[in-house]
């Protein structure tokens, strides 16, 4: 019997576009037509001005590292097989902050402000060091 996975999304009617784009290697965010600001995680309204005039936009995939933590223990599958891993918050080039995981990164050598690029694992956006 396969253990349940706690790292894969459950798409609903609204988020399906986001997860389908991620499965195809594209990171989407939402942009408000009223105030012009982008936001992530996807919502049906702008969290800055509350307008419902928001549309999907493909993000550049570039980000900078805001903060992180190296996780040495997590008993939920499949995380127990990935430890240690780096949980992080990144600033997307378009402005929003996003919670994510860093892959291909040495947790002891990370620095705030490090340049990152989106990657995808099992249709989920993660980030790796580098800008190109």
> pLDDT for 75-123, tens place per residue?
888 888 889 999 999 999 999 999 999 999 988 899 999 999 999 999 9
CB crowding 61-79: b at 16 or more within 10 Å, else e: bbbebeebebeeebeeeeb
Let me know: does 102 contact 116? Beta carbons within 8 Å. Answer: yes
Pick left, alpha or beta for residue 17 (phi over 0 → left; psi -120 to 50 → alpha; otherwise beta). alpha
Prediction pTM value: 0.90
Angle formed at CA 32 by CA 27 and CA 37, multiple of 5 degrees: 80
| 14-47 confidence digits (pLDDT tens) | 999 999 999 999 999 999 999 999 999 999 999 9
How confident is the model at residue 132, as a pLDDT? Answer: 54
Question: Averaged over 9-17, what is the pLDDT?
Answer: 90
Average pLDDT over residues 49-63: 98
What lies within 8 Å, CB to CB, of 17 at 6+ separation is 28, 56
Find the helix or strand (DSSP H, E) in which 120 lies: strand 115-121
């Amino acid at each position: 019997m396969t253990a349940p996975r706690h790292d894969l999304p459950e798409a609903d009617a609204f988020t399906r576009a986001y997860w389908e784009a991620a499965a195809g290697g594209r990171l989407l965010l939402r942009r408000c037509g009223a105030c012009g600001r982008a936001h992530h995680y996807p919502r049906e309204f702008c969290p800055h001005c509350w307008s419902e005039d928001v549309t999907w936009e493909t993000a550049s995939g570039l980000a900078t590292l805001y903060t992180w933590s190296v996780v040495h223990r997590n008993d939920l599958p499949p995380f127990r097989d990935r430890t240690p891993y780096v949980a992080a918050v990144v600033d997307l080039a378009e402005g929003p902050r996003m919670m994510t995981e860093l892959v291909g990164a040495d947790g002891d050598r990370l620095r705030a402000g490090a340049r990152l690029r989106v990657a995808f694992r099992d249709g989920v956006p993660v980030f790796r060091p580098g800008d190109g």
